[in-house]
Each structure stands twice: as structure tokens, then as C-alpha cells.
Structure 1
């Protein structure tokens, strides 16, 4: 049979078509998605009273993943648990991928097995070296280490031979139909009636000849494709003769690893199950949009009589109030709404790393949500709350003044300096540092009011406040204004050192401060970037004028003249913070690198994290330099909003 004229355009793979309705036993109601935005609970399910926030392996002990293991436990036939994480190297991973990483690497580790990082590089379009490197790097940052790194392209020759074998087994044929013709064959416009294309019954030898012609470049892209001969009567669209191999245009984009060696490439539906088989994957864990694909996955392994891994599907993780699609993020970058893929307002993993989210906090977030079949939509505030809880007891505390207001304590000598000891944390194991308390200190602009009120407890004319850890409080006596702008530029105060025979003045509240002492290099100047949500709504994509119309114009606030106390140097020297963040995984390097004590050169900027007392949690940005410090605010403090 000769190939007819015309072009074959491959139809999009139907991933989310509804499966046929079947009568099944009634299942317990799954409220995981409904409860996703609630705080973490002590969960039952065989482990009553267990606080999931304190047990990073909880999701493997009970529930969905425990049931998956029981379906195929270690045995003589399955001597070891082997999983895989198979990303496409055509973009940066986002927060949703953190669940897939935690599930696949964590499941293998919990059962004493191993996980393979396999790049699904079956489509050269958009695949670049930087994505290969970035994906592997972010997996290590999360604390995981693959047993080996592979790629689908490693197996192209073997996959090609399996394709020929499938043809010989009468399980595949070369098709020359157009995209429109295939849609009609699959029931579009025919009331759902499906019928085979004219090439389905061509002789096996003819399909072999045509497939080799495809391989040898005798057809242009779209003129021919290899399709699996499945079951058109099956109600599952993933059994409607899916494409197995297609021709791609090398003149437009060569494959990063194989160059122009191949004219034909396997599809995901062909390569994925067979690569799982080749690599002896025991449990192929993926998200529920591939649930219908399980039937074609198993059909292909059975048809070729090869080892068949067990595929099971769990609900994916989505974050509301942002966008995760590659196309939309590219548009945000190109139009200047964000700096790049690692802009801290995005929810790519490299952006969250730059913002200062600890890897352990991200894994804790995934663990708290648990794993079920339900698709989970989680508000951003839930993720931020998890990060806040994680940092609360694991990072040191410093004094950072975002909008400095000068305070002159008039009754102290000009050369007055007292070194005040300030603990790094409530936990004494963090140690302490000494900071200079001087005649001139800087406080937050918002900590002074020109006009006092009964419900205001910070500094105002005639009012007394304490300076954190300073020996005695101060009382504001007067203030100065800029004659042109009317802005308060300086406050004068009295030092309330006790005088014998007079009542001791006590402060009702305490504020943070930074002393001015050039001899101690205090204060340290910094630029601080504080972030709000990039979009105004929970669903930017639903905006009638497009997602860009939902952009929040106030998503970033930059404080260009912030002050940091001198304890910052010690925090940098002793980083990374938190110290124990890699215990969740116990495998990869995470952020901890071998270094000499006090050597900050081996520390990544984003691993320097601390609490700015009363102001939030901060990290050092990658733009930072020794003489030009740049900080990112990771999250605000839990109860910082609305304080008077």
C-alpha cells in the first residue's frame, strides 16, 4: 500500500478525557482537597495522635502510599523498590513538582529502595542544557540524591527495536492520516462512532518498510507516524490507537543530547512505560491526569511481553493565586513584570529558593497535605504559614530597621558606647552577640508618632519605650521635621537611667533598634525587598481580560536604605540556617556544604536566613555583594499585621 498524499499532523494527546462510568463499591469520602487550606492536624489512620509536622515520613506510613506499597511489596519477584522522577527538560520545576519529587524519592527511601532521575527528552522542542542542570540542582537542594541520572534518549535505539518488534506482533502500523481525519476516526462529528483508518490493516512488512523510511528521513514531519494498534471499541480514549513514533523537524531544533542522529522520536505514551520497564521500576507513581493512561501503559508492556511496572496515580498539587504554566511565566518575564524565572514572587522552585524558603519547609508542607487521589488546590497563605512555623525555632534573630528614623539620646555623651549582649534566639544553644548601644540609634519610622493616642504604646512625645535588651528605656522629648517635606527626620529623647530617690520609669512596650558606631561598622546598610502576591485574585487565569490584567502593582516594595545590626556578620559566618533542614530527606547535600568554621565563601546566599525581630524572616538575595547587601523578606511574622 503506497502512502497517500497529504500531511499527518499529530493530534494532541487526550490526557484528561473522562473515563467510562463503572459501578464500583462506595468509597469513603475524601475530604483532603476540602481541608487542604486548614492548619496541620494530628491525623489518625493507624497512627492516632501523630503530629504530621513532626514526622516527615508520615505520608508513607498510612493512607494512599502505604496502600500502594501493599499492592506490590518487596518479594522474590520485586526484590527492591525502585521509583523514578521523570521531568521534561524544557522548563524550571515549580512548587507542584515538589510533591512529585517528595513522593517518588521519599517512597523509595522509606522502603529501602532507590529513585532514578530520568529526563523525558522525547521532544527536542524547548529542551535546553540549562534545564537539565537546573532540575538536577533543585533535586539536590531539596535534599535528595538519585541513584543515577538517565534520559529517555539513552534508550532510543532500544525503543526503536521494540517499535519494530511491536509491528511484527501486529501491535503497530504506520499511518498517513491528517489531523482532521484522525479526529473523525475517533468520533468527532460522527456522534461518537469510531472507525479504523485505512492504514490500520496494511501488511506487517509494509509497516516495517514504511517505519524504516520514516527513520531514514524519507518523510517530512507530519507525513507519517507510527500508531499503536489498540482497541477502538474501548471507551477509554487512551486506547484509540495512540501515536508511538513521529517525525520531528531537525532544521528547526536538534536534540540536545543526540543532535540530528534521529529523524523519528518516540512519544511519551510509548517511551514512558518502556523506559520504566527497562529500568526495572517497581512503582511508577504519577499524577491522576495519567490515570486513563494506565490501561495503555499496561497494554504496551503486555503486547511486547516485557516486565510490567505497577503504575498508580495520586492527586496533583496546585497553588492558588499564582500561575505555574511555562507559557505564562515566559510572558511575565518578557513583558518585565518579573525579573526572571527565579523572581521571588513566582512559585518556581528556583524562585522560592531565592526568596529564602528552606527545602525542609517545602517538604514539610507536602507532608502536611498528605497524598490521596484528590487534586489539591492550596492557598499561598498555607504554604507561607508552613514556612513561618518552620523558621520560627530554627533561625537566629537580628534587629533590622527597614525605614530608619534617627533618635538622639541627648543626655548621653557624644562618645558613649555600651556593648549590649543580645541572644540570637530564645533557645540558649544559638548563643549571643554584642551590639553597640550609643547616643544615636535608629528605630523604625512607624515606631514614632507625632500625636499620641491612648491605644498607641510605642514612641511619641512624652512617652517611654524600651529598646530591646538596652539597659534602660528612653522617653521622647521632641522631634525635628524637614522644612520642605514636613517629614519627621529626627527624634530627641531622654535616657531613663534610674536616679536614686526618684521613681523608676518603666516601659510598656519594647522596640528594635540599631546603634550608630562607625568603630563597630554599625549600622550595616542594605536594600530590602518585601514581597506581596503577584496577582490580586486567587485565580488570575479566570480574569476576563487575561491573567496579566490581574497583576498586583504593589507586589514588591523595596526599602533602599535599611539598617542591619552587626550580628549579621556572625549569622553569615555560621550559615546555613536552619542547621537541620536536611533531616527530612537524609540523602542529598541540600544547602550544607563542607566548609571550615567561619568560612562564609562556601555558603549560598539563600541559606543565610534569620528573623528580623518584629519585621519578618529574611534571607540574602543572589544580587547581594559584600559592599551592597540585598535582603529578601521570606515571609512576615505571624502576628505582625495590625500591631499597634
Structure 2
């Protein structure tokens, strides 16, 4: 298990982190909090409905709904978790995502004490913004995106060198309070165009923390909101709302990932300025797992570029994709419990997740026999069908069994026959025997081929009385009689990437072209059917003996059973976590050279119009060439940044064009 910070019910110190003077509550605020919560401890899970949840969010849910309380030693009847839609960016959010988030939380088994929307607080947030203006702690600003960026650059330089020339402050920072109040109301009434005005908080332009450089609290967006409708044309930012809603909902512990650690100062600045209750803040490292990516931008690109079939593709690390693959809620929650939380950056081996799949499915998945690549076998000395019993769970016969029928003609899997035998191979080969599982040994007497030289049939003799030496190998089989088998398409999923740690810039070149193999002519025994003879329901999981675990895919129809491989039976040893850094430590020089070559080759086929389009976590608007023009909050990019992006675009265009000559 990963080293946990203060695990084991250690009280408040279990979730202690960097303290600030501004984080302290007055006795009056503490008493107000106690009156509201009645002594219960509250956490919250606040995803933005701008995409699908992934396995990293499963870790966050486990922390906020369960593990945090365990660390704090909170009795179960004193725990409350708020599920909040952090919906302040109408451009990126939709009802589709809202519904998806709710479904995933419910499916993972978490029950919120209440479900809220940040947008439900828009009236209160606006009033609190007005209160900041009246206290001379916010002002309406007309700086462009480029000017704000330049001002912040100056502030950053002056934090290091006080003698650095330049004024980091907005020219509107000291405008009269009444003027800002009137202009903020004009913003609300739609009298300004987008990007003509913002409301900025008067924080600390001399701070060494860039998050204190007069953050934007409100911006103008003439876009309807998926939950709030078309009432508003000004929308609050994450930095303004996040801390306030935590306070209004009287959250005890605001738990997030480490990239938000530098926002601690700004979080408490807002609450101190408004004299609101201050929750405790704790950060932990985000989940990194081998052979996949968890960036929303990259996942979106995988979908748009059709590397995968959608957000619920079984190769995706989304909750929907993992569920379709066959990973149950119990598996994901056991995995999250196993890895725990830490404040150290690390990478978790994918084998850890597979370990829990095997452990849990071994106890829950009934056994069946099937073949993916059928080869016909004729048992020459078997005149009549033989009815046999196969245990549902071989380790617990008392849990039941099912009937299978051994007929004179059966199918085995192509992997269980070789024309060239070897000492370490225990399947069938010419003149060699193997046991038909739950039956008796058979020996290959003759091999039949088609016109192209492929093996199409084996003639075998059964050792029904056990007179010959017992073979070491046992193979699975199914009857060749149609009434005894079900046709099935087997989808064999492998890692989405060819390397453990996909590179920041080379990840597309490292996608695995063999991440999906389809066996369309498979067969499985009829024990998988329901008592009424119907195909099993979607997400029913079986163990295909000697092969792996398979779950019924939603693509299944009355005419076709589709099975997804969850995981193979063979378990790799669970490896230790691998520390990593941005420079790709842990890779050999040869690997790095190979990565660079793959990256270059991949970039040759990337149309420059597409190179920025998937980066929706950075940009919200683009020109006709695909060059970004606005940031994620809809603010125009600075001229210097646009110039830099255009240079990158031109470089890519030259590479792209040269590849087509």
C-alpha cells in the first residue's frame, strides 16, 4: 500500500497542512459553524461538469466520502459529504455531463448528504462581490488579457527584485468605489461587450505568490447556462466561488489535489475579506497510473481523433469506460483503498488495478468454457454424447455447478494445438495427448488442412478408461452441437499505450495499435444463458476457464453476444510505485531517443489546424487557422501569447507540408 499521510484515525492532525494566519476563525464563526453542522464533519466532492469522470476522480471520491473520515476517526453517523457541481463555466458544461457525473457517483456506491450546484448560489455570490467592492477590495477593470499578463509579469519580477522598473497595478485599481459599483451593475445588465470589463479582487500585487495578483472574480459571457438558464451574462470564476461555496456550505475539510496548494493564500484571502467561515484545506497528490493518461485534454483528443470509440470505450480510464470493461464499483473502491493517499508524486502500476479485478471477480464470476479461435475436433471413439458437471466455483463446490455436454464433435481453441511440439508445451500436438477438462484425455491421430494450409480439423482418440499415462496438460472445449453452445464475439483489450509513462509531447506516437483485438467467431457454453434461455444481461461477468474474465458488453443484441475481456487470469507481480518527474526520469537513453523519434514521426501527420483544438482546458476560441484567441474563461489572449502560439503553428505547418511533398 502507498504510504499514507496520517492514516489510522489520528484526529485533526491527520489532515493538517501548511497553516496561514488568515485561515483562523473567530469564536463567533466557529460557533455559527457548530450550530449549522450539529457537530457533524463535512467534506465535499466538487467536480466541474465539463467532461466525464475518470479513475482519478474515483480516488477523490473515496477520499472525500470515506478515507478522510477514517483518518480523522469520525464515527459513521457523524459524517457528511456534499456532492457539488462546480458549474461556473457555461461554455464547457452541459446537461450530458451533469447527468453523467450523477450516474458515476451513484454507481460507485456513494450517497451524498446533499447535492448542490454552485450556480444555485449565483445571487449570493453577486451580493458578496458587491460587498467586496464596498469594502474597497474589488474593482472593475478594463485591462486586456495582454495587459493583465504583462502586469503580472512585472509583479513577478518585482517580487524577486524590488528595484525592477514598471508598475504592476491596473490603472483602474484605485477607481472610486461608487464608480465600480455602478460599472459592475452595468456588467450584469449586459451594457459591456465580452472582455471589455472584468471585476478583479484587490489582493496583493507585491506577493511572491502569483495567485495573489488581483484575480478576476467576474467576467462577461453572453452564453446560457445549462443549469441556471439565461438569467446571467456575468459569471463568477473558480477562484472567487470555490472558497465561498465551501464556506456557505460549512465544509469542514476542503480536500483537493496538490496543484491547488499555491491557491491556499487566495482561498483564505477571499474568506477573510468577507469575514466568512474558513474551512480547513488539505491537498494530496493526484493519481497517475501506468499505460494511460488522465488529462481531460488528452482524453478528449483520443475521442475526437477516434483512437477510441467514445468516452465509454473499455480502453478509456473514465468511470464509464472502466465499467464497460468489466471493472465493478467494488474493484475500483478496493483499488482506491489499497493505494491510499500521499502528498508525494508517484505513479501507480496498472497491475494494482488488475490485481483487485482478479481478486474480486474470482469470488463473484461463475466459470464457463469457451473458445476464441475454434478448431473442430472429432473424437473417433465417442459414439454418444456424455453429460458432465462443471463447478461454478471450483474452489467452492457447494456453491453449485452446471451441466455441459461432451459430444463426438467439439471445438477447442487454436492456441491449444501446435503442429510442432516442445517439452514446455502441454496442449495437443500430432501424436500427443491432453486432458479435456472435466472429461478424459484425447490423443491426436490426424490433422486435416484446407486448401490454404490452415488446420481445420483434428481427429483424436479418447482414453476413456484411463489406461494410458495421464498427460500434464488440460484444455477447455465446447460442444460442436449448436444447441450446446452460444456464438460470441470476444473483444480482447490491452494497454492503450506501448510505454508505462506516455510522454508529455510524445503520447500520441506511443498509442498501442494492438490495444484491441476482436475474435468474431468465438463460442461459449450455454451455462451463460439465463434460466429462460436468454442471453445474459449487460455487465454480467464470467470467468472463461484458463483464459480470463469477460463481461457482457452493451453492444450485445438478441442475435449476438459480445464479451469484453476484463483481465487475463495470469497475474503479473504487483510492482512498486515508480517515482517520476517531468524530465522522464527512470527511462534509459535508448528509450528517450526512441520516444523522440516517435514524436517526430507522429507530428508529421498532425494538421496544424488541429494541434490546439483539443486543449479545451486552456482555450475556448480559435481563429480560422486553429490558433487560440481566448483562454478557458473567455478572456482574449495577450498579443505576445498569440504570437508565440502562431510561431508553434507555423513550425508545425512546415513539418506537415514537408511530409506531403
TM-score w.r.t. the length of structure 1 is 0.80
Does 2:404 correspond to 1:435?
A: yes
> Contact between 1:316 and 1:375, CA under 8 Å: does it hold in 2?
yes
Query: Residues of 2 paired with 1:44 and 1:104: CA distance?
Result: 15
Partner of 1:235: 208
Alignment equivalent of 2:143, drawn from 177, 202, 224: 177
Report deviation, 1:150.
1.0
Partner of 1:29: none
> Contact between 1:214 and 1:224, CA under 8 Å: does it hold in 2?
yes
Alignment equivalent of 1:614, drawn from 546, 549, 562: 546
Alignment equivalent of 1:214, drawn from 165, 184, 187: 187
Does 2:96 correspond to 1:130?
A: yes
> Contact between 1:283 and 1:310, CA under 8 Å: does it hold in 2?
yes
Does 2:461 correspond to 1:494?
A: yes
Secondary structure (helix, strand or coil) at the match of 1:529 reads strand
Report deviation, 1:113.
1.2
Q: How does 1:83-162 map to 2 (within 5 A)?
A: 83-107=43-67, 110=70, 111=74, 112-162=78-128
TM-score w.r.t. the length of structure 2 is 0.78
Report deviation, 1:306.
1.5
Does 2:604 correspond to 1:638?
A: no
Report deviation, 1:523.
1.3
Alignment equivalent of 1:479, drawn from 447, 464, 469: 447
Query: Residues of 1 paired with 2:527 and 2:9: CA distance?
Result: 42
Secondary structure (helix, strand or coil) at the match of 2:313 reads coil
Q: Residues 559 and 64 from structure 1, CA distance in 2 versus in 1: closer, same or farther, beyond 3 angstroms?
A: farther
Report deviation, 1:60.
5.7
Partner of 1:66: 14
Partner of 2:295: 325
Superposed CA offset, 1:319-344 (max 9, x none)? 23223333333332233221111111
Query: Residues of 2 paired with 1:175 and 1:118: CA distance?
Result: 30
Partner of 2:178: 205
Q: How does 1:586-625 map to 2 (within 5 A)?
A: 605-606=538-539, 608-625=540-557
> Contact between 1:525 and 1:564, CA under 8 Å: does it hold in 2?
yes
Query: Residues of 2 paired with 1:264 and 1:640: CA distance?
Result: 53
> Contact between 1:396 and 1:425, CA under 8 Å: does it hold in 2?
no
Does 2:571 correspond to 1:626?
A: no
Report deviation, 1:147.
1.7
Partner of 1:395: 365
Partner of 2:377: 407
Alignment equivalent of 1:81, drawn from 36, 41, 53: 41
Query: Residues of 2 paired with 1:85 and 1:227: CA distance?
Result: 27
Higher helix share: 2
Query: Residues of 2 paired with 1:63 and 1:487: CA distance?
Result: 68
Unaligned segments of structure 2, at least 5 residues: 25-29, 159-163, 574-661
> Contact between 2:351 and 2:572, CA under 8 Å: does it hold in 1?
no
Partner of 1:310: 280
Secondary structure (helix, strand or coil) at the match of 1:567 reads helix
Q: Which moved more, 1:621-630 or 1:391-400?
A: 391-400
> Contact between 2:4 and 2:341, CA under 8 Å: does it hold in 1?
no
Query: Residues of 1 paired with 2:572 and 2:556: CA distance?
Result: 26
Query: Residues of 2 paired with 1:399 and 1:386: CA distance?
Result: 23
Does 2:511 correspond to 1:511?
A: no
Q: How does 1:153-552 map to 2 (within 5 A)?
A: 153-188=119-154, 191-192=157-158, 193=164, 195-250=168-223, 254-413=224-383, 415-470=384-439, 472-482=440-450, 484-498=451-465, 503-518=467-482, 521-543=483-505, 546-552=506-512
Report the number of matched residues. Answer: 547
> Contact between 1:45 and 1:63, CA under 8 Å: does it hold in 2?
no
Secondary structure (helix, strand or coil) at the match of 1:453 reads coil
Partner of 1:554: 514
> Contact between 1:417 and 1:436, CA under 8 Å: does it hold in 2?
yes
RMSD of aligned Cα (Å): 2.8
Q: Residues 417 and 535 from structure 1, CA distance in 2 versus in 1: closer, same or farther, beyond 3 angstroms?
A: same
Query: Residues of 2 paired with 1:119 and 1:177: CA distance?
Result: 30
Superposed CA offset, 1:23-43 (max 9, x none)? xxxxxxxxxxxxxxxxx48x8
Alignment equivalent of 1:566, drawn from 526, 549, 566: 526
Report deviation, 1:62.
5.7
Query: Residues of 2 paired with 1:109 and 1:238: CA distance?
Result: 30
Which structure's relative contact order is higher, taking Cα pairs within 8 Å and 6+ residues apart? 1
